[in-house]
Amino acid sequence: MEQVSADDLLAWIREFARLVAENRDALTELDAAIGDGDHGANMHRGTTAVLAAVDGAAPAAPGALVKKVGTTLVSTVGGASGPLYGTFFLRLGTALGDAATASPADVAAALRAGVEGVVARGRAEAGDKTMVDALLPAVTACEEALAAGRTWAEALAAAAEAAAAGRDATTPMVARKGRASYLGERSAGHPDPGATSAALLLAAAAGTLAGGSR
Amino acid sequence: MSAPGAAGRSRVGIVVVSHSRALAEAAVGLAAEMVPGQAVRVAVAAGLDETTFGTDAVRIAAAVEEVDDGDGVVVLLDVGSALLSAEMALEMVADDVRERVVLSPAPLVEGLLVATVTAAGGADRAEVAAEARAALLAKESHLGSAPATAPVTAPAGEPGPAADGFLTGSFVVANAHGLHARPAARLVAEVRRLDADVTVRDLTTGTGPVPAGSLSRVATLGALRGHEVEVAARGPAAREAVDRVLALAARSFDDDDDDEAPGAVEEQPGPAGTAPSPGPLPASPGIAVGPAVHLPAVPVPVDERPAGPPEHEERRLADALAAVRRDVARARDRAGPGQAGVFAAHLLLLDDAELTGAARAGTGAGAPAAGAWARAVADLEATWAALPDPYLRARAADVRAVGDQVLRALAGEAPEPGVDVDGVLVADDLTPARAGALDPRRVAGVALAGGSPTSHAAILVRALGIPAVVAAGAGLLDVADGTPLVVDGTEGRVLVDPPAAVVAEYRARRRELADRHARDTAEAAREALTRDGRRVTVSANVGSVADARAAAATGADGVGLLRTEVLFLDRDRPPTAEEQEQEYRAVLDALAGRPVAIRTLDVGGDKPLRYWPQPAETDPFLGVRGVRLSLTRPDLLRTQLAAVCRAARHGPVRLLVPMVTVVEEVLAVRRLLAEAAAPGPVPAGLQVGVMVEVPAVALDVEAFLPHVDVLSIGTNDLTQYTLAAARGHPALAALADPLHPAVLRLVGETASRAAGRAAVSVCGEVAADPAAVPVLVGLGVRELSVAPSAVAGVKAAVRQLDTGACAELARRCLAATGAAEVRALLRAAAPDA
């Protein structure tokens, strides 16, 4: 049976950091349209710090690794994404526990715990035009694929697709949370920056967590 | 209002969370100027570094730990991620630290200034947080149209004009628990039906002004006993609004705090908010033994349907509110009139413009009805939960209970099911609806992990006579179903699976209590004779037919005082003679041949009548009230006297005239009585009496004796007028003692002069005090009239007495140098002392 190792998770994190760096300006532009224009810079600062923190000193267990990612993001992102992504990774780490490796089902359950943490932290619901709109359908798609007997790689691909679709679905929405909500109706017509970075997180997973990068 | 703990002044720490370090440090500098030379523990957790904007949960957690000195921390925040990071930080600190941290919703700069000043003064954290929260009000009232800048030109109690067309007046809160939900509900109800814009403001704390028509805002004003509150009104009915509020305040908002539990939260040692689990606390006296039966909380359904169009969501919310309103009204009717106040507060919350307005703003912005309502309720609940006063804080449970009921209705679910268990009910807390529906024949006792003795659930459980303890701690919830439990609601104890010998002991005590109760009730119906064979009648003071029935059931020898005000209040025209006759005869019927003393309408400036406008009084208790007022409207008095005459043809009736000062008043009433009885004579059996409330009557009793059959001494007013101490004045409670020798001398003078010429009865609260009964009997009083619930106890006290010994005791009391010495003499003479 497939197992997800700390190395797989590290590859995921590195790929996420790479995608954030690549999309830094695009994220900032999106945020400038409906927020305070710092999402790209904030996330880039956070993921850069994460790379520095795990470089050469990455914890050997999956749970400990993602917790380290979480605490680093909390202290370095600065904006609301800090506690939100931080909570996501910390809950993920708690759910993964101390085991040396995790099964796909374990990882899917941990992703669900992480998303629930984000929902609780931000008190956002589906449809509020936030990262939750990308994360929730992604986790659900992943669980459904596994339940239907699909492979881990297929499940991750489904999750990435669902996240991208969820991101796109935020475009017509009117923001009800965060600084974009100050704009009211004017927030419609742009995808949500948080949902966009969350879609990057899932895209990174699809290419790495099933051993794709090795 | 600060209540520092026994250990001395609090040292509350402050943490400033901002995106910008420069902003936070400048704000701290500004605040420090307010308290030069005083050390307040302040830490900054702001920015990722000197110049990078951002917040960091780890840094916030460290700052909290740094300034926490055991007295807690108030955290002030700017926007957005500051909230998320601060909440996350709370998850990172130690459990005990987390319990003492308050995240303040106050605006950062204003809140920090006020919090710094309040903390420097040694206030506890709840108070610091509450003051910070109120910090925006000064600015709001300055810039807005609120009347806070209007000078208070009138002395306390007297309405007067102020700037901006506002009329203002002020009053001092006399209610033991302050202006909490029930008195606030009365205030809101009073002003809502008037065409006036009314606000109230706590002058003592500077909080407010808030709209007087909003329960949530008035109750969260946090006005405690002794606070001075200003009422301001403008609009066509401004004058009436101010008068009505002041009158309502003068009668303590018609809310009798006496029914609160012994050992209420505020009497617990320690400053507010420092004892998270003070329990278990006694909430309803008595002993229960039985198997634990868990009452699981009914989960509140989350309606996950996506939002429809805003109009649709608003409609759904309105429908749900209407449905819950009907449910609450039904629960109120089931619980009976004594507990109606609990449910009245719930009904007002369902109508509260602030709460429903916040929810509607949510649906208007596209949120689903359930989500919008849940958020509005959570905000209000959090506001109440952050109040410094523990009693007011406990009211947050009411908000939640009402909120959950509406969520249930929105999800299309039935109202919370009733309770169907046999044994000792174990739960985290009870909603008033469920508490009121308990069946005392099946539920032996109640043990709650949470709750408070002053909660509405506790009041309802007490009214049902079910022994209960509250705040027993979460551990109670781990007890398995069926585990033997002992609940001692008198001492505040819960014993889990105690040894058989202990259970047997408690069972014996429970039997003993039940036997004693049965014995007292049985004995109460018999007449009360002293040991030397003198009869003392013990009658009841009542205000309604229902009261009269209760009095008859407790063995009262009659009604010593029937207050008739209820017949006249809250209506648009005065009651007809027929209506009144019907009421008086119903009371006579309830007493089945025992005498009933009917007091004519006793109102003044404190109880305005809609059909009889009266000028506001500077001091209603020294103004035109009682018979003074009645004689200004002879038509109304004649109608009441006609009804009394008609009732007197059906049973033994006494007429009592209140607030009499001079003989001419009695003669005037007698003339009207003769007119009212026409065409027949005044019924032969009708006795005419006066209330002895004004000291002049007691001192000049000889002048009255030729004209009266009865002298009924109202010791409450007699005490207030003799000692010049207003009833219910919070600072004069000790002075206004009816056992002061001066008051006793007036009672003795009245009784001895009237002996053999007129009946003398005492109908004040002092008559219900078993310790005071010997001195009253010793002074020659042979008729007492007390609250129905006190009849049995007073009769039992009479049966212990010897009139000779009482007379000797009374002589010594009259020679005492003060009320304290009288009380000491009575204690020494008590049979079981």
Q: Is the peptide bond before B209 cis (omega within 30 degrees of 0)?
A: yes
User: What is the per-residue burial (b if ≥16 Cβ within 10 Å, else e) of B599-616?
Assistant: bbbbbbbbbbbeeeebeb
Give the minimum alpha-carbon distance from A39 to chain B in angstroms, rounded to a whole number. 11
Is pLDDT of B389 > 60?
yes
Supply the CATH classification number for the domain B310-410: 1.10.274.10
A106-110, A141-145, B127-131: which range is least confident on average? B127-131
Residues of A in contact with B61 (CB under 8 A): none
Superfamily of structural domain B525-829: Phosphoenolpyruvate-binding domains (3.20.20.60)
Structural domain spans, chain B: 13-133, 140-259, 265-295+418-521, 310-410, 525-829
In the CATH hierarchy, which fold is given to the domain comprising B265-295+418-521? Glucose Oxidase; domain 1 (3.50.30)
Q: Please name the residue that has the structure tokens 């649709």.
A: B312
Q: Which residues are B14's β-sheet partners?
A: B42, B74
For B500-565, give the secondary structure using H, E and C.
HHHHHHHHHHHHHHHHHHHHHHHHHCCCEECCCCCEEEEEEEECCHHHHHHHHHCCCCCEEEECCH
B269 pLDDT band (50/70/90 cuts)? very low
Does A28 lie at the interface with B, CB-CB under 8 angstroms?
no
Structural contact between residues A152 and A160, judged by C-beta atoms closer than 8 angstroms: no
Residues of B in contact with A83 (CB under 8 A): 55, 57, 81, 84-85, 87-88
Sketch the domain layout of chain A as residue ranges: 4-206
More confident call, B215 vs B820:
B820
Residue B159 has pLDDT above 80, yes or no: no
Beta carbons of A75 and B56 less than 8 Å apart: yes
**Interface residue B52 vs chain A (CB under 8 A):** yes
End-to-end CA distance of chain B: 38
**H or E stretch including B791?**
helix B791-798
Fold held by B13-133: Rossmann fold (3.40.50)
Asked if A71 and B58 come within 8 Å (Cβ–Cβ), the reply is yes
A133-142, B169-178, B619-628, range with greatest mean pLDDT:
A133-142
Task: Give the tokens for residue B193.
Answer: 């039906």
Which SS3 state, helix, strand or coil, does residue A210 take? Answer: coil
Of A38, A77, A121, the CB nearest to B87: A121
The per-residue pLDDT for A213 is: 38
Q: How far is CA A162 from CA A133, A137, A195, B572, in A?
A: 10, 6, 11, 67
Indicate if the pLDDT at residue B772 is higher than 50. Answer: yes
Q: Which of B55-59, B213-217, B551-555 has the highest mean pLDDT?
A: B55-59
Catalytic residue selected from B177, B180, B645, B763: B763
Report the amino acid identity of residue B817: T
pLDDT tens column, B195-245: 788 889 888 777 778 888 777 678 777 788 888 888 988 888 888 888 888
User: What does the mean pLDDT of chain B come to?
Assistant: 83
Task: Please report which confidence band the pLDDT of residue B390 belongs to, taking 50, 70 and 90 as the band edges.
Answer: low
Please tell us whether the domain made up of B140-259 is placed in CATH 3.30.1340.10: yes
pLDDT for res A89 = 96
More confident residue, B548 or A85: A85
Give the distance from residue A14's alpha carbon to the nearest chain B alpha carbon, in angstroms.
23
Query: Given CB atoms, is A178 within the 8 Å cutoff of chain B?
Result: yes
- Structure-token match 């910070």, residue found: B132
Sign of the Cα pseudo-torsion (B16, B19, B21, B25, in order):
negative
Asked if A78 has any chain B CB less than 8 Å from its own CB, the reply is yes
The pLDDT assigned to B155 comes to 35
Most A-contacting residue of B58, B59, B85 (CB-CB within 10 A), to test interface: B85
**Amino acid type, B224:** L
DSSP for residue B256: -
pLDDT at res. A212: 47
| Band of pLDDT at residue B380, cut at 50, 70 and 90 | confident
The first and second tokens of residue B498, run together, are: 């105690």
Residue B184 has pLDDT above 50, yes or no: yes
Q: Write the CB contacts of B376 (distance below 8 Å, at least 6 apart in sequence).
A: B355, B356, B358, B359, B362
pTM: 0.41
Q: Between β-strands B710-713 and B759-762, what pairing exists: parallel, antiparallel or unpaired?
A: parallel
Nearest CA in chain B to A38: B53
Instruction: Report the distance separating Cα B435 and Cα B433, nearest Å.
Output: 6
Q: Write down the catalytic residue from B180, B456, B806, B813.
A: B456
Band of pLDDT at residue B336, cut at 50, 70 and 90: low
Give me the total of CB pairs closer than 8 Å, taking one residue from chain A and one from chain B. Answer: 67
Give the C-alpha distances (Å, rounded to integers) separating B479 from B243, B277, B445, B453, B505: 54, 18, 15, 22, 22
Residues from chain B that touch A179, judged by Cβ atoms under 8 A, are 79-80
3-state secondary structure of B747: helix
- Inter-chain residue contact A77 with B53, CB threshold 8 Å: no
The minimal CB distance from A77 to the residues B54, B366, B367 is found for B54
Of A122, A127, A174, the CB nearest to B306: A127
Q: Is the peptide bond before B679 cis (omega within 30 degrees of 0)?
A: yes
Instruction: To the nearest 10°, report the CA torsion of B450, B452, B457, B460.
Output: 140
pLDDT-based confidence at B140, cuts 50/70/90? low
Number of H helices, E strands in chain A: 9, 2
pLDDT of B24: 93
Percent of chain A clearing pLDDT 70 (strictly above): 96
Cα B57 to Cα B206: distance, rounded to the nearest angstrom = 34
Q: In the prediction, which pLDDT does B263 show?
A: 32
Is B48 touching A (CB cutoff 8 A)?
Answer: yes
DSSP assignment letter at B604: -
| Choice between B280 and A194, residue whose per-residue pLDDT is larger | A194
Q: How confident is the model at residue A102 (pLDDT cuts 50, 70, 90)?
A: very high
Q: How far apart are CA B365 and CA B388, in angstroms?
A: 33
pLDDT in tens, A22-66: 999 999 888 888 877 889 999 999 999 999 998 877 888 999 999
> Given CB atoms, is A48 within the 8 Å cutoff of chain B?
no
Share of chain B above pLDDT 90, in %: 34
CB B384 within 8 A of CB B399: yes
CA atoms within 13 A on the CB side of B456: 31
Whether residue B813 lies in the annotated active site? no
Chain B residues with CB inside 8 Å of A127's CB? 306-307
**Mutate which: B18, B50, B79, B84, vs A, most A CBs within 10 A:** B84
How far B109 CA sits from the closest chain A CA (Å)?
20
Residue A5's Cα: distance from chain center in Å?
18
* A188 pLDDT higher than 60: yes
Regarding the domain delimited by A4-206, which CATH topology (the fold level of the hierarchy) does it fall under? 1.25.40
Average model confidence (pLDDT) across chain A: 90
Quick check: is B729 catalytic?
no
pLDDT for position B267: 31
Q: What is the pLDDT of residues B509-532, one digit of tens each?
A: 888 888 877 777 777 888 999 999
Cα distance between residue B806 and residue B798, in whole Å? 11
Separation between Cα atoms, residue A210 and residue A204, nearest integer Å = 11
Question: Between B721 and B149, whose confidence is greater?
Answer: B721
Write the residue in A42, A74, A178 that is nearest to B57 by C-beta. Answer: A74
What is the average per-residue pLDDT within B778-787? 95
B84 closest CB neighbour out of A84, A127, A184: A84
